[in-house]
């Protein structure tokens, strides 16, 4: 964006305040991306643990069970289900309350 304010063709994107704001926005975006990536990685690890322990306890899950596990969103929810692996009698009971 160019503005004429007494000086010819002042380009605001070269202004220090604009440059500082742009860099701050980029850093915030990178930080947000890192946090989202860490959370997704944590969820994936919990989901893999849930499936691994469930296989050992209940046997191989069917397609419907796999789909149900994939729909559990959030590390806290996955942890709650994982905590029930030792007390549930089968996949259906394990996933029934989610």
The helix/strand/coil state of 29 is helix
Q: Which of 53, 33, 36 is nearest to 94 (CA)?
A: 53
* Residue bearing tokens 């604009």: 18
pLDDT of res. 12:
67
pLDDT tens-digit series, residues 28-85: 777 777 777 778 999 999 999 999 999 999 999 999 999 999 999 999 999 999 999 9
Tally of CA atoms within 13 A in the half-sphere of 86 that contains its CB: 2
């Amino acid at each position: 964006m160019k503005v004429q304010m007494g000086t010819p063709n002042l380009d605001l994107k070269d202004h220090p305040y604009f440059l500082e704001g742009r860099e701050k926005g980029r850093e915030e975006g990178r930080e947000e991306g890192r946090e989202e990536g860490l959370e997704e990685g944590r969820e994936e690890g919990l989901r893999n643990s849930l499936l691994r322990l469930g296989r050992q306890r209940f046997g191989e899950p069917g397609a419907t069970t796999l789909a149900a596990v994939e729909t559990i969103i959030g590390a806290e929810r996955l942890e709650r289900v994982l905590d029930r692996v030792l007390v549930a009698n089968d996949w259906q009971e394990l996933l029934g309350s989610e």
